[in-house]
Each structure stands twice: as C-alpha cells, then as structure tokens.
Amino acid sequence: MHCKDGELSFNWIMTDEQLREEADSWACLSAIGLDTEFQRTNTFYPIPALYQVSADGNLFLIDPFGISDWSPFIACLSNPNIIKVMHACMEDLELISHHLNIVPTSIFDTQLANAFQQPEYAISYARLVDNFHRIELAKGETRSDWLQRPLTDKQIKYALEDVIYLEPLYEVLSARLKSLDRESWFLDMMLRRATYLPSNPDTYYRKNKKAWALEQSELRRLKLLTAWREKTAMNENVPRKRIVWDEHLLEMTKLERLREEHIVEILPNGIATRYGDELIKVHVEAGVSKEFVEPISAPLTRHEAKISKLLRGIAIEQAESLSVAKELLARKQDAEDCIRYFKMFGKLPEEYLGWRHSIVGENFLDTLREKL
C-alpha cells in the first residue's frame, strides 16, 4: 500500500508477503537506514510498535502487529554486506535483541561517527540533521502512544523523519571519517557499541551502588536476592521496581536471618504478601551457600580521585586538539578503570591498547607510574 503524508511518500509493510518482497529487494543495497519506535511503561522488555527503514531513498514503515514471519527482515539485518545506519543505537538494539533474537551486523551509528569529527558526544538526531541539512525536526511525538492504531498523521511524519536523513548522514559522516583517517578508530568503537548483551541476572547485583561496602556473606545474599528479582521481573515482564527495589534488597542483605516481620516492615503490603515467602527462601539459600562472590571495587580514594582528574585533563587536552568528543578518550568511569587496572596489572586495560594508546596511552602511563 502506497501512502502520502505531506511531501513524504512511503510504503506500509503490514503483511508477511509485503515484508518478504521488500526485504528481498534490500539485499542488493550497500546501506539502509533503520530506526524503531517502542513502548516500555509497564513492562520489563520493550514492546515493538514500529520499524522504520530507508532504502535507496525509499521509506518504509513496518507494522509489527501484522507480521508473523520475520525471517526476511532478520536475514537483512544479519547480512554483513549491508550497513545498517542508526542513531544512538543501544535502545534499538535492545528491542531487536528481545523481539527478533538477533544483534544486527555492520552497524553505523551516526551519533558516534559525529563524535569523531565534532566535540559533542551525545548529539541528538534532530540536532545532527539541523547541523548538516539545516532542517528543524519536530520533537513532539517522542512520548506519544506508539501502540495505538491507527497512528496519527503527526506520529507518521515523526517516524518518517527519524529515518529519512540517516542515509545522507551516513554518506557525509563516513566520507569525513575517511578524509580524517579516523575510520579505524570509529570501527573499533563501533564494535563495542554494537555488541549488545542482555541483562545477566547473576551479575546485576554489581550495579547496586552500595554493594562495594558489603562483606562476603552479605554479597552472597545480595547476589542471590538480586538474581531472583531479575528473573522474576523477566518472567512476569514487569519493571524491576514492581517486584522489589534495590534499596529493599540491600536492607534484606544486611540481615543474618530474614523473617516474616522483616518482610512486612521493609516491603509494601501487596509485595510482601506476594513475594515474601520466596524472598525468605532465597535468603536462606544464600546463608548456606559457600560461593565466593567477587568483591566490588570501592570508590577511589581522595588521592586516586585527583589522579583520575589528571587523566581526564589529558584526555580533554588531546580531544580539543583533535576536535573530537572528550568522552571518546576518557569518561570518568574510563579514567577510574585505568587506575584500578594499573594498580592490579601495571598496565592499561585492553580498551587503551588500540587507537587510544597512540593519543593518550603514554601520557596516561607516565601519570600513573608517577602518581600511584
């Protein structure tokens, strides 16, 4: 079905037959633009609401509610010979991973490519389009209900604009990367950004900001309780906070024995009634476990924090000289990781053995050797 929305001509893809026909035609292309719309308000996993594709100047909206056979689209996204041009791709990759059980190959993220050419790291798609094409995009439909049908004209226009400029951006950004001789830098970073891994329930406890202060027995409790919470949220497909908050898990972790009265005191009534017995059971299992749980690094000391600031200063100076985003060379977490890794192994972590090493590696090492 061919449709019109103002000056934007596009094709709806609503059936398996339409998807197969169009996806097969994309197989001969060197690049396509790709974006998604989804909703995740009351669920653990994002719900796919729309896929947008630009292919050789043509625009397509794929309605997931009418598609049952996704294999042609999966084949396209998995084809390494087709560049998938996306912007700030991580949330889209999460959706695709859960919905289609794949991670697309050969991704070109326009946000990241721009960071190797301009000082802004997390530039929005609208601003990038304005910078290169002097076109101001509407932003009003970002939080609208993408699961409703029919979509409004404003939603359709927004969805089309989100993908129509991806191919032209790819052409100019990729050409500039090559002219600056930074394509290999970008590709190295892109490999890391495009490697999406689903949340691991058994390691999620490490995200608890106060876990570094726990003793081994407490860490065991936190790990098992958090893993239970993650698996429960996944199985029931509800947000984590609909099960148990991180703060509540930490309170339970510090108790040598979790009793019913603790459950009632810590949790809201409905949550305590529904999950109390399971939490007590997991808490008991953690108490008899002999597993060694890897400790979590403590916050940097005051002296180490000063060194981190020095490393970031080096990164900022080099980034400014190259006109690239400083975050490419050292975010705060990167600098802290360098300090911890150097203390353990006397060298920089793997992320600093490639292109970054030629820019900041030796200065980082000199600073760490002198100050630590």
Instruction: Give the Cβ contact number of residue 316 at 10 Å.
Output: 15
C-alpha–C-alpha distance, residues 132 and 118, integer Å: 12
For the chain, list residues with pLDDT below 70. 1-7, 140-141
* 3-class state of residue 53 by DSSP: strand
Report pLDDT for 8.
82
Tokens of 279: 């939490």
**Residues 147-196: tens digit of each pLDDT:** 999 999 999 999 999 999 999 999 999 999 999 999 999 999 999 889 89
CATH superfamily of 302-371: HRDC domain (1.10.150.80)
Q: Which fold has domain 2-193?
A: Nucleotidyltransferase; domain 5 (3.30.420)
Tokens of 343: 């203390």
How does DSSP assign 157-203, residue by residue?
HHHHHHHHTHHHHHHHHHHHHHHTT-HHHHHHHHHHHT------TTT
How many Cα atoms are found within 13 Å in the side-chain-facing hemisphere of 209?
2
Instruction: Give the Cβ contact number of residue 338 at 10 Å.
Output: 25
Report pLDDT for 2.
40
Report pLDDT for 139.
72
C-alpha–C-alpha distance, residues 225 and 353, integer Å: 37
C-alpha–C-alpha distance, residues 335 and 328, integer Å: 11
CATH superfamily of 204-288: HRDC domain (1.10.150.80)
Residue pair 94/195 in contact by the 8 Å Cβ criterion? no
Q: What angle do CA 57, 7, 141 make, to 5 degrees?
A: 90
Predicted structure pTM score: 0.93
Strands (DSSP E) found in 267-369: none
* 3-class state of residue 132 by DSSP: helix
Residue pair 311/338 in contact by the 8 Å Cβ criterion? yes
How many Cα atoms are found within 13 Å in the side-chain-facing hemisphere of 166?
31
Domain boundaries, the chain: 2-193, 204-288, 302-371
Q: Could you give phi then psi for residue 88, rounded to 5 degrees?
A: 50, 70
* 3-class state of residue 121 by DSSP: coil
Q: Which residues contact 274 (CB under 8 A, 6 or more apart)?
A: none
Cis peptide bond upstream of 150, omega within 30: yes
Report pLDDT for 138.
76
**Residues 237-255: tens digit of each pLDDT:** 999 999 999 999 999 999 9
Q: Do domains 2-193 and 302-371 have the same CATH topology?
A: no
